Structure 1
């Protein structure tokens, strides 16, 4: 087991400096602090005061923001954080937001956990093979994830009922007469991606239709990704008459691609997004989308993580339902 002396030797500092960094005392440069925390994570050093925090909790939950994220300026994240903060406060806990342009998410979480200042973490965008979760589990650091639980992953995953939402949205398009319906999906590395596909495919196969692989495009998460995905669909000999996008951001990008191609959304092609961010009601035309209760998901994440911290039975959780909000981007199949 690593000692403070081991950390000091590898980081090239004194043991006093290591103590200053871990306790938040003294005067230490940002570069030195960064180096010490990196070594602490690499050696999986367990400070004495972190061990004491097992008995006297910090009553603080952590949310690690990936570097480069728009942070709280993103409506989806802001609502999730609001739910987390409110539920945590109701249980006497605080929420700490953290990020670092140099360290990976898992190293930031490990470094904070070793200081004893955070009891557990929320991971965004849970992945199928999530190295962050595997690392935190091996280090004995409590955490929950935003996303569907993955097979073999010890991290509790909480998400929306994306299968049910995609089923409702795709059925609505079929009711309008559409048969060539495309799916612009999330990256396959995200656990939520498969849930969306399942609902989409079920809506097609329940009426005897086959899922056309050419009408399914795996995209990223940005508007630019949605634009590129829609351009790929439009380049086919026979394009779709309706599109389900896995997020409003992807739908916004798809709208741009359709507009650039001289195709009128809501008349020539039907489009449905997912999330119902504030902008969705103010696009031209206003976007039909699946409304996601992000604040409620944030509260559920807090309740689950606090139960883990306090070694209580985990609260039961049913994926939160999505509501179809019909606006102006859906239309019957053109004659």
Structure 2
């Protein structure tokens, strides 16, 4: 196993310089950028991993040497997603009997490169990066941290990941509407925080058209991410010329749409059906009025897979790759079989 002394020898610097750089104090000690680059290249080439447990022992505390996992979570994603993720982590840790300390590191989409802890890896043994934007993925690919990194719900040729096939989500929604007999559909979308959101929508539209369901441009509506955004944007679908069914980018938007339809006297599903991506708290969708049909994103299952991947990497297993999880359709009363006379 490579040591800090090995890194120093390869980078042709002193051990103290390596320590300064790995501890994130390069700017404070005015270490040249070229020197920092040489050290990080040596770290990656040698596969050096900082001894986090030793640092914890120096910090004191009888429980100090435990395994610490950093969870990098984008701060602009809704809290229910994180709650579901952490529940999955709890389930897997209980099932496998391992003890891990999980520490949440909030970050802003597109600004992961500014995080110093991920660069030094001196505070944790492994990191799970969740909900990364394209800029964040590009940064990680070009500047891999000096320790095990797992991606949540993103794909990468360099890092192990647990993810769902986004195209499948849109296809499942379209197939359900086709099976129910709907012939027109719209989309209540949100700003694409990552490429997968656009893939879901594109796959839905393509599958609809292949099944003979018309999706007109005027029925493609954009909103924010919150329930209130769904309330406001859904007003575009309350008129008589609206589509028979609406595919929502999240259950939060769909819950807002249900409220808007109720206020406008639009009956669901008789006058307007709703189906959504289920990425929030499942209980809200299951107990709405009427209960909401969703294509459920397997957040808990992906979280459990992240724990497994962490264990495999920390155990230094080879060929640790990606884990693809499947979304599942949960039909409820917000969609229904369309009578043949109404098709």
Give your verdict on TM over 0.5: yes
TM-score, normalised with respect to structure 1: 0.71
The match for 1:285 is 290
1:185 and 2:189 aligned: yes
Q: 2:108, 2:209 → 1: CA distance?
A: 47
Contact 1:106 1:136 in 2 (8 A): no
Are the structure 2 counterparts of residues 88 and 82 from structure 1 closer, same or farther at C-alpha, using a change threshold of 3 Å? Answer: same
SS in 1 for 2:221: strand
Contact 1:234 1:240 in 2 (8 A): no
The match for 1:244 is 247
Q: Any unmatched runs of 5+ in structure 2?
A: 1-12, 31-35, 55-64
1:96 and 2:102 aligned: yes
Contact 1:176 1:331 in 2 (8 A): yes
Q: 2:175, 2:299 → 1: CA distance?
A: 24
Superposed CA RMSD: 4.0
**Higher deviation after alignment, 96-105 or 164-173:** 96-105
Deviations 1:31-77 (A, max 9, x none): xxxxxxxxxxxx7898x9x9542898963221123346664xx2x32
Q: 1:201, 1:61 → 2: CA distance?
A: 39
Question: Which of 276, 296, 303 is residue 301 of structure 2 equivalent to?
Answer: 296
SS in 2 for 1:290: strand
Are the structure 2 counterparts of residues 295 and 78 from structure 1 closer, same or farther at C-alpha, using a change threshold of 3 Å? Answer: same
Contact 1:65 1:105 in 2 (8 A): no
Deviations 1:260-319 (A, max 9, x none): 322122221000122261111111121122233322111112223443442522155233
The match for 1:53 is 51
Contact 2:190 2:223 in 1 (8 A): yes
Are the structure 2 counterparts of residues 286 and 95 from structure 1 closer, same or farther at C-alpha, using a change threshold of 3 Å? Answer: same
1:200 and 2:198 aligned: no
Are the structure 2 counterparts of residues 214 and 158 from structure 1 closer, same or farther at C-alpha, using a change threshold of 3 Å? Answer: farther
Q: Any unmatched runs of 5+ in structure 1?
A: 14-42
SS in 2 for 1:130: helix
TM-score, normalised with respect to structure 2: 0.70
The match for 1:175 is 179
